[in-house]
Amino acid sequence: MRIKPLRGDLENYLGVHTLSKKYEKAKALFENNPFHPSLNTEILEPKERLIYSFRLDKKYRAIFIYVDVETVEIIALTNHYK
């Protein structure tokens, strides 16, 4: 599995929220095994939209879509509790 390079605004979000190291760790886990238990990867509701998320930490999540069978694109980084 491969994650496309992040858009500039998402790179900026990581910097502002000091999440760059956590993102890199989660990215490595995801690219090795998208369903690694610590990522808590899940499909979001409504399921027919095919939008997924994985955990960066207890507070932040990466929202992604599949571009093809081997590639995903992060479309948002969010505070899970807001």
pLDDT in tens, 2-29: 999 999 999 999 999 999 999 999 999 9
Specify the number of domains making up the chain. Answer: 1
Q: Has residue 80 got a pLDDT over 80?
A: no
CB atoms within 10 A of CB 55: 19
Is the pLDDT score of 81 beyond 80? no
Q: What is the pLDDT of residues 36-72, one digit of tens each?
A: 999 999 999 999 999 999 999 999 999 999 999 999 9
**Are 22 and 60 spatial neighbours (Cβ–Cβ below 8 Å)?**
yes
Q: What is the CATH number of the domain that holds 68?
A: 3.30.2310.20
Domain range spanning residue 60?
2-79
- Please, are residues 67 and 60 in contact by the beta-carbon 8 Å criterion? no
CA–CA dist 5, 46 (Å, integer): 26
